[in-house]
Protein backbone atom coordinates (compact mmCIF):
# COMPACT_ATOMS: atom_id res chain seq x y z
CA UNK A 1 0.00 0.00 0.00
CA UNK A 2 1.46 3.33 -1.03
CA UNK A 3 1.87 6.04 1.63
CA UNK A 4 0.99 9.44 0.10
CA UNK A 5 1.41 11.37 3.35
CA UNK A 6 3.31 14.63 2.86
CA UNK A 7 6.16 14.76 5.36
CA UNK A 8 7.81 18.07 6.23
CA UNK A 9 11.29 18.31 7.70
CA UNK A 10 10.82 20.59 10.72
CA UNK A 11 13.67 21.74 12.88
CA UNK A 12 13.19 21.71 16.67
CA UNK A 13 12.29 25.07 18.22
CA UNK A 14 14.66 24.51 21.14
CA UNK A 15 16.61 21.95 23.08
CA UNK A 16 14.91 18.61 23.58
CA UNK A 17 14.96 19.16 27.36
CA UNK A 18 13.12 22.48 27.13
CA UNK A 19 9.45 22.35 28.05
CA UNK A 20 6.61 24.85 28.50
CA UNK A 21 5.16 25.97 31.83
CA UNK A 22 1.65 24.53 32.13
CA UNK A 23 -1.15 25.94 34.30
CA UNK A 24 -4.62 24.45 34.79
CA UNK A 25 -7.35 26.66 36.27
CA UNK A 26 -10.61 25.15 37.54
CA UNK A 27 -13.25 27.81 38.20
CA UNK A 28 -17.01 28.12 38.29
CA UNK A 29 -19.23 30.58 36.54
CA UNK A 30 -18.93 34.14 37.80
CA UNK A 31 -15.59 33.58 39.56
CA UNK A 32 -13.43 35.19 36.92
CA UNK A 33 -11.64 32.11 35.60
CA UNK A 34 -11.57 33.63 32.13
CA UNK A 35 -10.22 36.91 33.50
CA UNK A 36 -7.47 35.09 35.39
CA UNK A 37 -6.56 33.12 32.28
CA UNK A 38 -6.37 36.32 30.26
CA UNK A 39 -4.12 37.93 32.88
CA UNK A 40 -1.71 35.00 32.80
CA UNK A 41 -1.53 35.01 29.00
CA UNK A 42 -1.01 38.80 28.94
CA UNK A 43 1.71 38.45 31.58
CA UNK A 44 3.62 35.94 29.51
CA UNK A 45 3.24 37.80 26.23
CA UNK A 46 4.38 41.06 27.83
CA UNK A 47 7.73 39.35 28.45
CA UNK A 48 8.03 38.02 24.91
CA UNK A 49 6.85 34.51 25.67
CA UNK A 50 4.46 32.52 23.51
CA UNK A 51 1.29 31.67 25.44
CA UNK A 52 -1.78 29.67 24.50
CA UNK A 53 -5.05 29.20 26.43
CA UNK A 54 -8.00 26.88 25.98
CA UNK A 55 -11.15 26.24 28.01
CA UNK A 56 -13.57 23.36 28.40
CA UNK A 57 -16.87 24.40 30.02
CA UNK A 58 -18.68 22.02 32.34
CA UNK A 59 -22.33 21.82 33.38
CA UNK A 60 -22.37 19.11 36.06
CA UNK A 61 -21.70 21.14 39.20
CA UNK A 62 -23.35 24.34 40.42
CA UNK A 63 -23.18 26.79 37.50
CA UNK A 64 -20.67 24.53 35.76
CA UNK A 65 -16.97 24.29 36.54
CA UNK A 66 -14.77 25.23 33.58
CA UNK A 67 -11.22 23.96 33.06
CA UNK A 68 -8.96 26.65 31.62
CA UNK A 69 -5.54 25.55 30.44
CA UNK A 70 -2.52 27.75 29.72
CA UNK A 71 0.86 26.81 28.32
CA UNK A 72 3.67 29.33 27.93
CA UNK A 73 7.17 29.04 26.56
CA UNK A 74 9.99 31.22 25.31
CA UNK A 75 10.17 31.30 21.50
CA UNK A 76 12.87 29.17 19.94
CA UNK A 77 15.99 30.25 18.14
CA UNK A 78 15.22 32.45 15.18
CA UNK A 79 11.79 33.30 16.58
CA UNK A 80 10.30 29.90 15.86
CA UNK A 81 7.09 29.36 17.81
CA UNK A 82 6.65 26.20 19.87
CA UNK A 83 3.78 23.76 19.46
CA UNK A 84 1.70 23.86 22.67
CA UNK A 85 -0.87 21.40 24.02
CA UNK A 86 -4.55 22.20 24.29
CA UNK A 87 -5.42 20.24 27.43
CA UNK A 88 -3.68 19.23 30.68
CA UNK A 89 -1.92 15.88 30.77
CA UNK A 90 -1.75 13.89 34.03
CA UNK A 91 1.72 14.14 35.51
CA UNK A 92 2.72 17.11 33.37
CA UNK A 93 1.08 20.17 34.99
CA UNK A 94 3.15 22.73 36.88
CA UNK A 95 0.38 24.74 38.56
CA UNK A 96 -3.23 23.88 39.35
CA UNK A 97 -5.46 26.75 40.54
CA UNK A 98 -8.86 25.77 41.99
CA UNK A 99 -11.46 28.41 42.87
CA UNK A 100 -13.28 26.05 45.27
CA UNK A 101 -12.09 23.32 47.61
CA UNK A 102 -13.90 20.34 46.11
CA UNK A 103 -12.67 21.37 42.66
CA UNK A 104 -9.17 20.92 44.05
CA UNK A 105 -10.22 17.39 44.99
CA UNK A 106 -11.52 16.73 41.50
CA UNK A 107 -8.23 17.96 40.07
CA UNK A 108 -6.45 15.43 42.24
CA UNK A 109 -8.76 12.66 41.02
CA UNK A 110 -8.03 13.65 37.41
CA UNK A 111 -4.34 13.04 38.12
CA UNK A 112 -3.18 16.53 37.14
CA UNK A 113 -1.77 17.23 40.63
CA UNK A 114 1.47 15.32 41.19
CA UNK A 115 4.02 15.42 44.05
CA UNK A 116 7.08 15.79 41.81
CA UNK A 117 5.88 18.81 39.83
CA UNK A 118 2.60 20.51 40.79
CA UNK A 119 1.98 23.60 42.91
CA UNK A 120 -1.66 23.51 44.04
CA UNK A 121 -3.29 26.88 44.70
CA UNK A 122 -6.83 26.46 46.06
CA UNK A 123 -9.45 28.37 47.96
CA UNK A 124 -10.67 26.51 51.05
CA UNK A 125 -14.27 27.78 50.82
CA UNK A 126 -17.14 25.65 49.51
CA UNK A 127 -19.71 26.35 46.82
CA UNK A 128 -22.21 23.57 47.31
CA UNK A 129 -23.08 21.23 44.45
CA UNK A 130 -26.70 20.68 43.42
CA UNK A 131 -26.63 17.18 44.96
CA UNK A 132 -25.61 18.71 48.30
CA UNK A 133 -28.34 21.34 48.21
CA UNK A 134 -31.25 19.12 47.19
CA UNK A 135 -30.59 16.30 49.68
CA UNK A 136 -33.11 16.05 52.57
CA UNK A 137 -30.96 17.46 55.38
CA UNK A 138 -27.27 18.08 55.88
CA UNK A 139 -25.60 16.25 53.00
CA UNK A 140 -22.61 18.51 52.53
CA UNK A 141 -19.68 16.38 51.37
CA UNK A 142 -16.85 15.76 53.82
CA UNK A 143 -13.84 17.88 52.85
CA UNK A 144 -11.38 16.05 55.07
CA UNK A 145 -10.42 13.56 52.35
CA UNK A 146 -9.35 16.46 50.10
CA UNK A 147 -7.36 18.04 52.95
CA UNK A 148 -5.53 14.78 53.59
CA UNK A 149 -4.81 14.21 49.89
CA UNK A 150 -3.42 17.70 49.25
CA UNK A 151 -0.57 17.17 51.69
CA UNK A 152 0.46 14.02 49.86
CA UNK A 153 -0.06 14.63 46.16
CA UNK A 154 1.10 18.24 45.73
CA UNK A 155 4.71 19.42 45.59
CA UNK A 156 3.67 22.79 47.05
CA UNK A 157 0.28 23.68 48.52
CA UNK A 158 -1.23 27.15 48.96
CA UNK A 159 -4.68 26.78 50.49
CA UNK A 160 -6.77 29.39 52.32
CA UNK A 161 -10.13 31.15 51.92
CA UNK A 162 -9.36 33.30 48.90
CA UNK A 163 -13.02 34.08 48.29
CA UNK A 164 -13.46 35.68 51.73
CA UNK A 165 -10.23 37.60 51.25
CA UNK A 166 -11.39 38.94 47.89
CA UNK A 167 -14.78 39.95 49.29
CA UNK A 168 -13.13 41.81 52.19
CA UNK A 169 -11.18 43.82 49.65
CA UNK A 170 -14.14 44.52 47.38
CA UNK A 171 -12.96 42.27 44.57
CA UNK A 172 -13.49 38.77 43.18
CA UNK A 173 -11.57 35.57 43.80
CA UNK A 174 -9.57 35.74 40.54
CA UNK A 175 -7.56 38.67 41.95
CA UNK A 176 -6.65 36.70 45.06
CA UNK A 177 -5.65 33.64 43.04
CA UNK A 178 -3.47 35.83 40.82
CA UNK A 179 -1.73 37.18 43.94
CA UNK A 180 -1.04 33.68 45.26
CA UNK A 181 0.29 32.63 41.86
CA UNK A 182 2.71 35.58 41.91
CA UNK A 183 3.89 34.73 45.42
CA UNK A 184 4.29 31.01 44.67
CA UNK A 185 7.48 31.57 42.66
CA UNK A 186 6.36 29.25 39.88
CA UNK A 187 6.56 31.95 37.20
CA UNK A 188 9.75 33.90 36.45
CA UNK A 189 8.15 37.36 36.55
CA UNK A 190 8.47 40.26 38.99
CA UNK A 191 5.60 41.44 41.18
CA UNK A 192 5.36 44.76 39.36
CA UNK A 193 4.66 42.92 36.11
CA UNK A 194 1.50 41.46 37.64
CA UNK A 195 0.37 44.97 38.61
CA UNK A 196 0.85 46.14 35.01
CA UNK A 197 -1.42 43.39 33.75
CA UNK A 198 -4.17 44.24 36.26
CA UNK A 199 -3.96 47.95 35.44
CA UNK A 200 -4.38 47.26 31.73
CA UNK A 201 -7.66 45.46 32.52
CA UNK A 202 -9.32 48.82 33.10
CA UNK A 203 -12.04 47.60 35.53
CA UNK A 204 -11.97 47.49 39.33
CA UNK A 205 -8.23 48.13 39.32
CA UNK A 206 -7.85 49.38 42.89
CA UNK A 207 -9.97 46.59 44.41
CA UNK A 208 -8.17 43.95 42.33
CA UNK A 209 -4.76 45.19 43.46
CA UNK A 210 -5.91 45.21 47.12
CA UNK A 211 -7.03 41.61 46.87
CA UNK A 212 -3.85 40.71 44.95
CA UNK A 213 -1.64 42.23 47.66
CA UNK A 214 -3.58 40.60 50.49
CA UNK A 215 -3.27 37.17 48.87
CA UNK A 216 0.41 37.75 48.02
CA UNK A 217 1.21 38.64 51.62
CA UNK A 218 -0.89 35.76 52.96
CA UNK A 219 0.95 33.31 50.70
CA UNK A 220 4.35 34.71 51.58
CA UNK A 221 3.88 35.17 55.32
CA UNK A 222 1.35 32.41 56.00
CA UNK A 223 -0.69 34.50 58.47
CA UNK A 224 -4.43 35.09 58.36
CA UNK A 225 -5.54 38.70 58.72
CA UNK A 226 -7.01 39.66 62.07
CA UNK A 227 -10.82 39.93 62.12
CA UNK A 228 -12.14 43.46 62.36
CA UNK A 229 -13.57 44.77 65.62
CA UNK A 230 -16.96 45.12 63.95
CA UNK A 231 -17.01 41.43 63.07
CA UNK A 232 -15.89 40.40 66.54
CA UNK A 233 -18.63 42.42 68.23
CA UNK A 234 -21.45 41.68 65.77
CA UNK A 235 -24.81 41.23 67.54
CA UNK A 236 -26.62 37.87 67.46
CA UNK A 237 -28.51 37.34 64.24
CA UNK A 238 -31.67 36.23 66.03
CA UNK A 239 -31.87 39.05 68.60
CA UNK A 240 -35.48 40.18 69.17
CA UNK A 241 -36.21 43.88 68.67
CA UNK A 242 -37.99 45.82 71.41
CA UNK A 243 -40.80 46.73 69.05
CA UNK A 244 -41.67 46.97 65.36
CA UNK A 245 -43.04 49.98 63.46
CA UNK A 246 -45.72 48.03 61.62
CA UNK A 247 -48.68 47.64 63.99
CA UNK A 248 -49.63 44.15 62.77
CA UNK A 249 -46.04 42.94 62.99
CA UNK A 250 -45.62 44.47 66.44
CA UNK A 251 -48.81 42.73 67.59
CA UNK A 252 -47.34 39.39 66.51
CA UNK A 253 -44.09 40.17 68.30
CA UNK A 254 -46.02 41.00 71.47
CA UNK A 255 -47.88 37.69 71.22
CA UNK A 256 -44.64 35.81 70.72
CA UNK A 257 -43.17 37.23 73.91
CA UNK A 258 -46.32 36.65 75.94
CA UNK A 259 -47.30 33.16 74.77
CA UNK A 260 -44.01 31.34 74.17
CA UNK A 261 -41.23 30.41 76.62
CA UNK A 262 -38.13 32.57 76.47
CA UNK A 263 -36.00 29.65 75.27
CA UNK A 264 -38.00 29.58 72.02
CA UNK A 265 -38.14 33.32 71.37
CA UNK A 266 -35.14 33.65 69.05
CA UNK A 267 -35.95 30.76 66.72
CA UNK A 268 -39.69 31.53 66.79
CA UNK A 269 -39.00 35.11 65.73
CA UNK A 270 -37.06 33.90 62.69
CA UNK A 271 -39.80 31.38 61.92
CA UNK A 272 -42.46 34.06 62.21
CA UNK A 273 -40.60 36.27 59.74
CA UNK A 274 -40.36 33.40 57.28
CA UNK A 275 -44.04 32.50 57.51
CA UNK A 276 -45.26 36.09 57.16
CA UNK A 277 -43.01 36.65 54.15
CA UNK A 278 -44.36 33.44 52.63
CA UNK A 279 -47.99 34.49 52.99
CA UNK A 280 -49.21 37.32 55.25
CA UNK A 281 -49.71 38.49 58.85
CA UNK A 282 -52.79 36.27 59.31
CA UNK A 283 -50.67 33.25 58.43
CA UNK A 284 -48.13 34.41 61.00
CA UNK A 285 -50.91 34.52 63.59
CA UNK A 286 -51.77 30.91 62.71
CA UNK A 287 -48.11 29.99 63.24
CA UNK A 288 -48.22 31.48 66.74
CA UNK A 289 -51.55 29.77 67.48
CA UNK A 290 -50.02 26.39 66.74
CA UNK A 291 -46.89 27.13 68.79
CA UNK A 292 -49.00 28.32 71.71
CA UNK A 293 -50.86 24.98 71.77
CA UNK A 294 -47.60 23.04 71.45
CA UNK A 295 -46.18 25.02 74.36
CA UNK A 296 -49.08 23.81 76.53
CA UNK A 297 -48.34 20.23 75.50
CA UNK A 298 -44.66 20.83 76.24
CA UNK A 299 -45.44 22.22 79.70
CA UNK A 300 -47.63 19.21 80.52
CA UNK A 301 -44.68 16.94 79.69
CA UNK A 302 -42.39 18.82 82.15
CA UNK A 303 -40.91 20.85 79.33
CA UNK A 304 -39.50 23.42 81.76
CA UNK A 305 -37.05 20.78 83.02
CA UNK A 306 -35.88 20.25 79.44
CA UNK A 307 -35.55 23.95 78.64
CA UNK A 308 -38.69 23.78 76.46
CA UNK A 309 -36.62 22.08 73.78
CA UNK A 310 -39.77 20.63 72.18
CA UNK A 311 -41.27 24.09 71.62
CA UNK A 312 -38.01 25.53 70.30
CA UNK A 313 -37.60 22.61 67.88
CA UNK A 314 -41.22 22.94 66.76
CA UNK A 315 -40.71 26.66 66.11
CA UNK A 316 -37.99 25.82 63.58
CA UNK A 317 -39.55 22.92 61.72
CA UNK A 318 -43.12 24.26 61.80
CA UNK A 319 -41.96 27.38 59.95
CA UNK A 320 -40.36 25.19 57.29
CA UNK A 321 -43.55 23.12 57.02
CA UNK A 322 -45.77 26.19 56.66
CA UNK A 323 -43.47 27.92 54.14
CA UNK A 324 -43.50 24.98 51.73
CA UNK A 325 -42.17 25.15 48.17
CA UNK A 326 -44.99 25.46 45.67
CA UNK A 327 -45.36 26.89 42.16
CA UNK A 328 -46.51 30.22 43.57
CA UNK A 329 -43.46 30.63 45.78
CA UNK A 330 -41.06 29.69 42.98
CA UNK A 331 -42.69 32.19 40.62
CA UNK A 332 -42.53 34.99 43.22
CA UNK A 333 -38.86 34.32 43.96
CA UNK A 334 -37.90 34.40 40.29
CA UNK A 335 -39.64 37.74 39.66
CA UNK A 336 -38.61 39.66 42.78
CA UNK A 337 -36.51 42.77 42.27
CA UNK A 338 -34.20 41.69 45.10
CA UNK A 339 -33.31 38.54 43.15
CA UNK A 340 -32.56 40.55 40.03
CA UNK A 341 -30.25 42.81 42.04
CA UNK A 342 -28.47 39.81 43.54
CA UNK A 343 -27.89 38.28 40.09
CA UNK A 344 -26.67 41.65 38.79
CA UNK A 345 -24.19 41.90 41.65
CA UNK A 346 -22.94 38.33 41.09
CA UNK A 347 -22.24 38.86 37.37
CA UNK A 348 -20.83 42.36 37.89
CA UNK A 349 -23.42 44.20 35.80
CA UNK A 350 -22.10 47.55 34.59
CA UNK A 351 -23.91 50.74 33.56
CA UNK A 352 -25.26 50.46 30.06
CA UNK A 353 -25.36 46.65 30.12
CA UNK A 354 -28.59 44.65 29.80
CA UNK A 355 -29.25 41.71 32.10
CA UNK A 356 -31.35 38.74 31.02
CA UNK A 357 -31.78 35.38 32.73
CA UNK A 358 -33.07 32.10 31.35
CA UNK A 359 -34.93 29.78 33.73
CA UNK A 360 -35.08 26.10 32.89
CA UNK A 361 -38.51 24.85 34.01
CA UNK A 362 -40.40 21.60 33.66
CA UNK A 363 -43.87 22.04 35.18
CA UNK A 364 -46.19 19.08 35.65
CA UNK A 365 -49.97 18.98 35.52
CA UNK A 366 -50.01 17.77 39.12
CA UNK A 367 -48.28 20.97 40.26
CA UNK A 368 -50.53 23.17 38.14
CA UNK A 369 -53.69 21.48 39.43
CA UNK A 370 -52.57 21.69 43.06
CA UNK A 371 -52.44 25.50 42.73
CA UNK A 372 -56.17 25.65 41.95
CA UNK A 373 -58.88 25.86 44.64
CA UNK A 374 -59.38 22.41 46.19
CA UNK A 375 -62.88 21.85 44.77
CA UNK A 376 -61.88 22.77 41.22
CA UNK A 377 -58.66 20.74 41.41
CA UNK A 378 -60.50 17.61 42.59
CA UNK A 379 -63.12 18.08 39.86
CA UNK A 380 -60.37 18.33 37.24
CA UNK A 381 -58.61 15.23 38.54
CA UNK A 382 -61.85 13.26 38.37
CA UNK A 383 -62.01 13.98 34.59
CA UNK A 384 -59.19 11.70 33.57
CA UNK A 385 -59.34 12.33 29.82
CA UNK A 386 -59.35 16.09 30.28
CA UNK A 387 -56.60 15.88 32.90
CA UNK A 388 -54.41 13.73 30.62
CA UNK A 389 -55.02 16.07 27.67
CA UNK A 390 -53.87 19.06 29.72
CA UNK A 391 -50.91 17.10 31.10
CA UNK A 392 -49.58 16.40 27.61
CA UNK A 393 -49.50 20.14 26.92
CA UNK A 394 -48.10 21.26 30.26
CA UNK A 395 -45.55 18.54 31.04
CA UNK A 396 -42.75 19.93 28.86
CA UNK A 397 -39.36 21.46 29.49
CA UNK A 398 -39.27 25.20 28.96
CA UNK A 399 -36.74 28.00 28.79
CA UNK A 400 -38.29 31.10 30.33
CA UNK A 401 -36.57 34.47 29.83
CA UNK A 402 -37.43 35.98 33.21
CA UNK A 403 -36.63 39.61 32.42
CA UNK A 404 -38.41 39.75 29.11
CA UNK A 405 -42.06 40.75 29.14
CA UNK A 406 -43.28 37.46 27.61
CA UNK A 407 -41.53 35.48 30.35
CA UNK A 408 -41.98 37.87 33.27
CA UNK A 409 -45.75 38.43 33.04
CA UNK A 410 -46.84 34.75 33.28
CA UNK A 411 -44.53 34.18 36.25
CA UNK A 412 -45.69 37.39 37.90
CA UNK A 413 -49.30 36.26 37.45
CA UNK A 414 -48.59 32.88 39.04
CA UNK A 415 -46.82 34.60 41.94
CA UNK A 416 -49.88 36.82 42.43
CA UNK A 417 -51.98 33.69 43.11
CA UNK A 418 -50.60 33.96 46.64
CA UNK A 419 -53.91 35.59 47.61
CA UNK A 420 -55.81 32.30 46.98
CA UNK A 421 -53.06 29.95 48.18
CA UNK A 422 -54.82 29.01 51.44
CA UNK A 423 -57.80 27.74 49.42
CA UNK A 424 -55.68 25.61 47.10
CA UNK A 425 -55.50 21.83 47.01
CA UNK A 426 -51.78 21.97 47.76
CA UNK A 427 -52.36 23.98 50.94
CA UNK A 428 -55.11 21.64 52.07
CA UNK A 429 -52.76 18.68 51.58
CA UNK A 430 -49.89 20.40 53.40
CA UNK A 431 -52.11 21.30 56.38
CA UNK A 432 -53.36 17.72 56.72
CA UNK A 433 -49.83 16.37 56.68
CA UNK A 434 -48.61 19.06 59.09
CA UNK A 435 -51.36 18.38 61.61
CA UNK A 436 -50.77 14.62 61.51
CA UNK A 437 -47.02 15.12 62.01
CA UNK A 438 -47.48 17.40 65.02
CA UNK A 439 -50.09 15.06 66.51
CA UNK A 440 -47.69 12.10 66.30
CA UNK A 441 -44.86 14.10 67.88
CA UNK A 442 -47.12 15.42 70.66
CA UNK A 443 -48.41 11.95 71.44
CA UNK A 444 -44.86 10.59 71.69
CA UNK A 445 -43.84 13.51 73.89
CA UNK A 446 -46.12 12.39 76.70
CA UNK A 447 -44.17 9.13 77.11
CA UNK A 448 -40.71 9.98 75.78
CA UNK A 449 -39.62 13.61 75.59
CA UNK A 450 -36.60 12.93 73.38
CA UNK A 451 -38.66 10.85 70.96
CA UNK A 452 -41.12 13.72 70.56
CA UNK A 453 -38.26 16.04 69.60
CA UNK A 454 -36.85 13.43 67.21
CA UNK A 455 -40.22 13.14 65.45
CA UNK A 456 -40.31 16.88 64.97
CA UNK A 457 -36.90 16.73 63.31
CA UNK A 458 -38.21 14.18 60.77
CA UNK A 459 -39.50 17.22 58.89
CA UNK A 460 -35.94 17.70 57.63
CA UNK A 461 -36.67 14.98 55.10
CA UNK A 462 -39.26 17.05 53.23
CA UNK A 463 -38.07 19.86 50.99
CA UNK A 464 -38.32 21.16 47.46
CA UNK A 465 -41.12 20.36 45.05
CA UNK A 466 -41.95 17.94 42.24
CA UNK A 467 -40.00 14.65 42.36
CA UNK A 468 -37.75 15.82 45.19
CA UNK A 469 -40.82 16.55 47.34
CA UNK A 470 -42.35 13.15 46.56
CA UNK A 471 -39.16 11.29 47.51
CA UNK A 472 -38.92 13.27 50.74
CA UNK A 473 -42.49 12.37 51.69
CA UNK A 474 -41.81 8.70 50.98
CA UNK A 475 -38.82 8.67 53.31
CA UNK A 476 -40.70 10.66 55.94
CA UNK A 477 -43.53 8.13 55.98
CA UNK A 478 -41.13 5.21 56.34
CA UNK A 479 -39.22 6.84 59.18
CA UNK A 480 -42.32 8.02 61.06
CA UNK A 481 -44.15 4.70 60.87
CA UNK A 482 -41.08 2.78 62.04
CA UNK A 483 -40.47 5.20 64.91
CA UNK A 484 -44.09 4.92 66.03
CA UNK A 485 -43.82 1.13 66.04
CA UNK A 486 -41.06 1.25 68.70
CA UNK A 487 -42.35 4.21 70.70
CA UNK A 488 -42.68 2.09 73.84
CA UNK A 489 -38.97 1.19 73.92
CA UNK A 490 -36.62 3.10 76.21
CA UNK A 491 -34.15 3.58 73.35
CA UNK A 492 -36.80 4.67 70.83
CA UNK A 493 -35.31 8.18 70.51
CA UNK A 494 -31.87 6.77 69.70
CA UNK A 495 -33.28 4.53 66.99
CA UNK A 496 -35.34 7.43 65.64
CA UNK A 497 -32.15 9.45 65.20
CA UNK A 498 -30.52 6.50 63.44
CA UNK A 499 -33.47 6.29 61.09
CA UNK A 500 -33.22 10.00 60.31
CA UNK A 501 -29.47 9.81 59.72
CA UNK A 502 -29.88 6.83 57.37
CA UNK A 503 -32.61 8.61 55.42
CA UNK A 504 -30.59 11.82 55.03
CA UNK A 505 -27.29 10.29 54.00
CA UNK A 506 -28.62 7.62 51.64
CA UNK A 507 -30.21 8.80 48.36
CA UNK A 508 -31.02 5.22 47.30
CA UNK A 509 -32.75 4.34 50.62
CA UNK A 510 -30.75 1.11 50.92
CA UNK A 511 -29.26 2.11 54.27
CA UNK A 512 -32.67 3.27 55.49
CA UNK A 513 -34.28 0.00 54.49
CA UNK A 514 -31.47 -1.85 56.27
CA UNK A 515 -32.04 0.13 59.48
CA UNK A 516 -35.78 -0.55 59.27
CA UNK A 517 -35.15 -4.29 58.83
CA UNK A 518 -32.89 -4.25 61.90
CA UNK A 519 -35.61 -2.58 63.95
CA UNK A 520 -38.26 -4.99 62.66
CA UNK A 521 -36.04 -7.94 63.59
CA UNK A 522 -35.85 -7.09 67.27
CA UNK A 523 -39.41 -5.71 67.40
CA UNK A 524 -40.82 -9.05 66.33
CA UNK A 525 -38.96 -11.03 69.00
| Buried/exposed 23-37: b ≥16 CB within 10 Å, e otherwise | bbbbbbbbbbbbbbb
The candidate with the shortest Cα–Cα distance to 327, out of 414, 258, 439, is: 414
Residue 468: is its pLDDT beyond 90?
no
Residue 139: is its pLDDT beyond 60?
no
Residue 354: is its pLDDT beyond 80?
yes
Q: Where are the domains of the chain?
A: 21-229, 450-525
In angstroms, the CA 414 to CA 147 distance is 46
Confidence of residue 236 (pLDDT cuts 50, 70, 90): very low
pTM beyond 0.95: no
CA-based Rg of the chain, rounded to a whole angstrom? 29
The candidate with the shortest Cα–Cα distance to 98, out of 174, 20, 185, is: 174
In angstroms, the CA 324 to CA 350 distance is 36
- Residue 444 φ/ψ, nearest 5 degrees: -65, -35
- pLDDT of amino acid 116: 87
* 235: DSSP letter: P
Is residue 25 within 8 Å of 38, Cβ to Cβ?
A: no
β partners of residue 115 = none
Confidence of residue 289 (pLDDT cuts 50, 70, 90): very high
Residue 331: is its pLDDT beyond 80?
yes
The candidate with the shortest Cα–Cα distance to 94, out of 38, 24, 47, 147, is: 24
- pLDDT of amino acid 41: 93
Q: What percent of the chain has pLDDT over 70?
A: 83
Three-state secondary structure call for residue 336: coil
CATH architecture of the domain 21-229 equals 3-Layer(aba) Sandwich (3.40)
Q: What is the pLDDT of residues 243-269, one digit of tens each?
A: 777 888 889 999 999 999 999 999 999
In angstroms, the CA 509 to CA 417 distance is 36
Q: How far apart are the first and last CA of the chain?
A: 80
In angstroms, the CA 506 to CA 512 distance is 7
Is residue 75 within 8 Å of 4, Cβ to Cβ?
A: no
Mean pLDDT along residues 268-285: 93
What burial class does residue 228 get, using C-beta atoms within 10 Å of its C-beta: 0-12 exposed, 13-18 middle, 19+ buried? exposed
Residue 509: is its pLDDT beyond 80?
no
Task: Quote the distance between the C-alpha of residue 117 and its chain's center.
Answer: 33
Q: What is the pLDDT of residues 205-233, one digit of tens each?
A: 899 999 999 999 999 887 554 444 433 33
- pLDDT of amino acid 258: 93
Q: What is the pLDDT of residues 37-60, one digit of tens each?
A: 999 999 999 999 999 998 887 654
Three-state secondary structure call for residue 23: strand
Amino acid sequence: MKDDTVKLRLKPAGLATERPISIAIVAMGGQGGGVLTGWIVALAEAHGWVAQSTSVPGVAQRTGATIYYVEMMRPGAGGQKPVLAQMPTPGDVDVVIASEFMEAGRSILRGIVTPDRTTLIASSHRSLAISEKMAPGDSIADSSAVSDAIGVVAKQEIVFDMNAMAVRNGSVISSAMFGSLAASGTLPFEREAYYDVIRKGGKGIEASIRAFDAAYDRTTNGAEPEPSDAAATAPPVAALPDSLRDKRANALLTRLRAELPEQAHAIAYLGLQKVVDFQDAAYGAEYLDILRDLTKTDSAANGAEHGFAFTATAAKYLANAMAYDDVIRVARIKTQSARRQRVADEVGLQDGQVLNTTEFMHPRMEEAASTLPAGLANWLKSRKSLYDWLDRRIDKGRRVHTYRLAGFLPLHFVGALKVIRRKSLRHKTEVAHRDAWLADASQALACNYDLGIAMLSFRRLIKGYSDTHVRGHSKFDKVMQTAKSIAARDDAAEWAQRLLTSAIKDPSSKDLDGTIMTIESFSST
